[in-house]
Amino acid sequence: MSKDPVRVLVTGAAGQIGYAIVPMVARGVMLGPDQPVILHLLDIEPAAEALKGVQMELLDAAFPLLKGVVATTDVVEACKGVKVAVMVGGFPRKEGMERKDVMSKNVSIYKAQASALEKNAAQGCKVVVVANPANTNALILKEFAPSIPPDNITCLTRLDHNRALGQIAWRVKAQVSDVKNVIIWGNHSSTQYPDVNHATVRTSCNGEDKSVRELVGDDQWLNGDFIATVQQRGAAIIKARKLSSALSAASSACDHIRDWLLGTPKGTWVSMGVYSDGSYGVPAGLMYSFPVTCDNGNWSIVQGLRIDDFSREKMDATAKELSEEKALAYSCLD
């Protein structure tokens, strides 16, 4: 017997990431190849016509798993009955704008969407915030949707995680699927700390896992250019495309939700921005990216990893930036 369709909300659906992610969801990349879906697409009034175009294309593509599309500019209608919410819509930084101006616009968007989700989403709805500043938008969403369990609200750092896997695979000439257990700590920003101290690569000769530090054999690169490349990758994509990353962001958001709902493979963790419980000395109450394993729709922070002085300093620096962003966001609420 076929499964009941799951309603998946994509906000900012007429934008770049929206355009990349909706066919992935409709093809089963996010929820599995046997899971029918109904897509809820939200955008704002100026993008209503473009949104209609996306809806037309979804019909034209005749996706077997796609059982319906709700395309709307009404946030309440968009949130009704959704089990998964991918929050891509937001206000981008424009020329001449101060950080505070962008923050203030996004705080009011995420405050309003939090209450629409809280009142209208299906019970147990899982939320991933993609729109920047992703960690702080997710924190605001959490604060203004108190009836949604905090564990159900996350932000996307899986793109950074995947970027780190890609850089290591390239460097040691391995398949990316053989690299695992990198960590992105902290903010989805240039202060994030991509950590390879616990990462391994499955070697082709005997299939054993070898430590990345041992295989790369170049701590100067790992502690320098590797970190900078991952931290700056978003900016490098913007420079090359004149647009920010979209297909990799969409694909990583699918990875994030798929692993969260369907589980991480045994012995493997992924990075997710989650509400800090104080693990690893990260201040509680920040939306901070940690290594997590997922099982049965629940994530848990991987505990007991050794943190050296180099890592400690970088983990604290990104936590400091998040505390400052949080203070700025709260000042916009006054």
Ligand X SMILES: NC(=O)c1ccc[n+]([C@@H]2O[C@H](COP(=O)([O-])OP(=O)(O)OC[C@H]3O[C@@H](n4cnc5c(N)ncnc54)[C@H](O)[C@@H]3O)[C@@H](O)[C@H]2O)c1
Ligand Y SMILES: O=C(O)C[C@H](O)C(=O)O
Residue ranges for the known binding site for NAD(+) are 12-18, 43, 106, 130-132
Contact pick of 11, 72, 106, 132 for ligand Y (by CB under 6 A): 132
Closest distance of CB 324 from ligand Y, Å: 18
Q: Which residue is nearest to ligand Y (CB)?
A: 234
Residue 252 CA, distance from chain mean position: 7
Alpha carbon distance 290, 168 (integer Å)? 19
Task: Print the binding letters for residues 151-170 with ligand Y: x by CB under 6 A, - otherwise.
Answer: --------x-----------
Active-site entry in 40, 161, 188, 256: 188
Which option in ligand Y, ligand X, none does residue 15 bind, with CB closer than 5 to 8 A by kind?
A: ligand X
Closest distance of CB 8 from ligand Y, Å: 21
Q: Where are the alpha helices (DSSP H) in the chain?
A: 16-26, 48-60, 75-79, 99-120, 134-143, 158-172, 212-216, 219-223, 225-231, 233-241, 247-262, 309-333
Asked if 44 touches ligand X (CB under 6 A), the answer is: yes
Length of the chain: 334
> Which residue ranges make up the annotated binding site for substrate?
93, 99, 132, 163
Alpha carbon distance 191, 178 (integer Å)? 27
- Please report, as residue ranges, which positions from 125 to 144 form the binding site for ligand X (by CB under 6 A): 130-132, 134
CB-CB contact of 187 with 303 (8 Å): no
Q: What angle do CA 48, 141, 332 make, to 5 degrees?
A: 90
Q: Which stretch binds ligand Y (CB under 6 A): 4-12, 67-75, 237-245, 258-266?
A: 237-245
Asked if 16 touches ligand X (CB under 6 A), the answer is: yes
Asked if 245 touches ligand Y (CB under 6 A), the answer is: yes
CB-CB contact of 118 with 80 (8 Å): no
Closest distance of CB 235 from ligand Y, Å: 7
Q: Is 188 a catalytic residue?
A: yes
